[in-house]
């Protein structure tokens, strides 16, 4: 069975698609079979591509960027092994959508996986500039080693191919 991870931000056009593409590549480079996608707590941008500044930040760093925004649905809790919120507001919203304690326990904050994080929130770069999008990319990348270790712990079969 494939381990499944999803990243969730507000509109699914900045932070969560960036995390999706970055983490997908790092997991592939580790040889781990993990399905990765993303969504938003709100459906304002459903069907739209990622923000052009997200796409530019991803491409500058050599990542893919194809994306169509979608809204997280409560029925998806059983689909995922790990649901990663990009800030505490998303974390709270997701946990309130969960029907059971096991579903709530799947919800984690991305920066929990970065032992050097000074805040658990990945700030929304939407109203910012290029530097804000690059900062988000760096924060996501800093959390990946801890996230990969957690995936290996939760899913022993998530071993290299």
Q: Which residues face 5 on adjacent strands?
A: 36, 82
Please identify which of the residues 81, 93, 124, 132 carries the catalytic annotation.
124
Q: In angstroms, what CA-CA distances link 39 with 3, 55, 67, 118?
A: 17, 16, 10, 25
The residues, ordered by sequence, that sit 6+ positions from 161 with a Cβ below 8 Å of its Cβ are 31, 32, 33
Q: Is 121 a catalytic residue?
A: no
Exactly one of 14, 15, 24, 37 is catalytic; which is it? 15
Residues 6+ apart with CB under 8 A from 102: none
Q: Has 88 been annotated as catalytic? A: no
14 is catalytic: no
Q: Cβ-count burial of 115 within 10 angstroms (0-12 exposed, 13-18 middle, 19+ buried)?
A: exposed
Helix (H, G, I), strand (E, B) or coil at 46: coil
Tell me how far the alpha carbon of residue 120 is from its chain's centroid. 13
Which residue numbers are catalytic? 9, 15, 124
């Amino acid at each position: 069975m494939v381990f499944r991870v999803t990243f969730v931000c507000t509109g699914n056009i900045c932070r969560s698609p960036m995390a999706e593409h970055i983490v997908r590549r790092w997991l592939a480079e580790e040889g781990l079979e993990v399905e990765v996608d993303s969504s938003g707590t709100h459906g304002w941008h459903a069907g739209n591509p990622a923000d052009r500044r997200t796409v530019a930040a991803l491409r500058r760093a050599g990542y893919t960027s194809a994306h169509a925004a979608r809204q997280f649905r409560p029925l998806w809790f059983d689909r995922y092994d790990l649901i990663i919120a990009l800030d505490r507001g998303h974390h709270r919203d997701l946990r309130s959508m969960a029907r059971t304690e096991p579903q709530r326990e799947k919800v984690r904050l991305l920066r929990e996986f970065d032992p050097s994080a000074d805040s658990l929130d990945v700030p929304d770069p939407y109203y910012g500039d290029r530097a804000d999008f690059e900062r988000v990319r760096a924060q996501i990348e800093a959390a990946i080693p801890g996230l990969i270790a957690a995936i290996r712990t939760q899913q022993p079969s998530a071993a290299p191919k």
